[in-house]
Amino acid sequence: FEAAKEAVKEFSKEAIAAAKATMALEQQQIALDDANRELAVVFAQSRAQIAKLNMIADDSTKSIEERIQATRDAAEIEQALAEQREANALIQVAILEDELAMFGETPDLLQKIADAQVVALAAQEETAGVQTGLITKVNGLLAEQQALIDEGIASTKEQLQNLIDAQAEIDNVFKTY
């Protein structure tokens, strides 16, 4: 009778521990779902801000410095969004892996884990793409700036040569008198 009593007691402890762990997982999932909803709103708001910054970056009437700064600001926002999506996806993977450890393998759970890993990897790829895009756009703007400088130097050289030629003509006129 004592052995049965101890077994029931031990089973009760394990059931309580499992229930607490399940509740903790559910709370983590609820918090993640809330974070994903908030991120969706921030994402929509940020897309509008990024579009405005990209308009500045592409506006040839703006200074190169303004355009580079707008490009960097847009990339910074994009980077933060991608990093948050990646972090949320990795949290989802961790929650699902905890669930796997608690309840065992099921095809549905394995698929959810794979899907969450794909989302995390896609966010990592997006982060790399944002950085590549930033580098490309900034390098293009710097090349444009260098071309303007080179054009200014060439124009200044030409003007200087014209002044030298004009001075030589003036000097020749005065030499004849």
Residue 1 has pLDDT above 80, yes or no: no
Residue 8 has pLDDT above 80, yes or no: no
Residue 111 has pLDDT above 90, yes or no: yes
pLDDT, the chain, mean: 90
At residue 52, the pLDDT reads: 95
- What does the alpha-carbon distance between residue 74 and residue 71 come to, in Å, rounded to a whole number? 5
- What does the alpha-carbon distance between residue 118 and residue 112 come to, in Å, rounded to a whole number? 10
Closest CA to 39 of 107, 1, 112, 89: 89
Residue 4 has pLDDT above 90, yes or no: no
At residue 130, the pLDDT reads: 79
The number of C-alpha atoms within 13 Å of 177 and in the hemisphere containing its C-beta is: 4
> What mean pLDDT comes out for the span 40-60?
92
pTM of the model: 0.68
Confirm if 130 and 79 have CB atoms less than 8 A apart: yes
